Amino acid sequence: MTSATASTPATHSAFTHLFAGVQEAYLLNSTASILGWDQETMMPNGGAELRSRQLSQLARLGHESFTSPKIGELIAAAQDVVHSMPADCADAVNVREISRDYHKATKLPSSLIAELAQTASQAQHAWVEARRESNFKKFQPWLEKTVQLNIQKAQCLGWPKGGEAWDALADYYEPALTAADVTRVFEPLRARLQKLLDRIRGASKQPSNAFNELALPIEAQEKFVRHMAKSIGFDFSCGRLDRSAHPFCGGSHCRDVRMTTRYAPTCVFDALGSTMHESGHGMYEQGLDFAQAGLPMGTAAGLSVHESQSRMWENQVGRSMPFWKWARPQLGAFFEDACDHLTLEHLYQAANVVEPGFIRVESDEATYNMHVMIRFQLERDMLNGNMPIAELPAVWNKMYKDYLGVSVPDDRRGCLQDVHWSMGAIGYFPTYTLGTLLAAQLFERARKDIPGLEDGFTRGEFAPLLSWLRANVHCHGRRYRLDELCRKITGAPLSADPMMRHLEAKLLPLYGLE
Residues marked active site are found at: 278
Enumerate residues 6+ apart whose C-beta is below 8 A from 361. 246, 247, 270, 273, 274, 277, 417
Question: What is the spatial distance between Cα 27 and Cα 412, in angstroms, rounded to a whole number?
Answer: 36
Enumerate residues 6+ apart whose C-beta is below 8 A from 341. none
Cβ–Cβ under 8 Å, residues 28 and 58: yes
Return the closest-CA partner of residue 210 out of 128, 266, 159, 164. Answer: 266
Q: What is the DSSP string of 435-453?
A: HHHHHHHHHHHHHHHSTTH
**Residue 140 neighbours by CB distance under 10 Å:** 18
**Does residue 460 come out as left (phi exceeding 0), alpha (psi in the -120 to 50 range) or beta?**
left
Return the closest-CA partner of residue 149 out of 373, 388, 423. Answer: 423
Question: Helix, strand or coil for residue 168?
Answer: helix
Cα 318 to Cα 24, 198, 350: the distances in Å are: 39, 25, 12
Return the closest-CA partner of residue 234 out of 285, 168, 279, 293. Answer: 279
Question: What is the spatial distance between Cα 443 and Cα 39, in angstroms, rounded to a whole number?
Answer: 35
Cα 98 to Cα 23, 284, 348, 479: the distances in Å are: 11, 21, 46, 12
The rounded Cα 88 to chain-centroid distance in angstroms is 25
Long-range contacts of 260-268 (CB under 8 A, 24+ apart): 260/37, 260/40, 260/41, 261/225, 263/218, 263/221, 263/222, 265/215, 265/216, 265/218, 266/212, 266/213, 266/214, 266/215, 266/216, 267/212, 267/213, 267/362, 268/211, 268/212, 268/214, 268/216, 268/221, 268/224
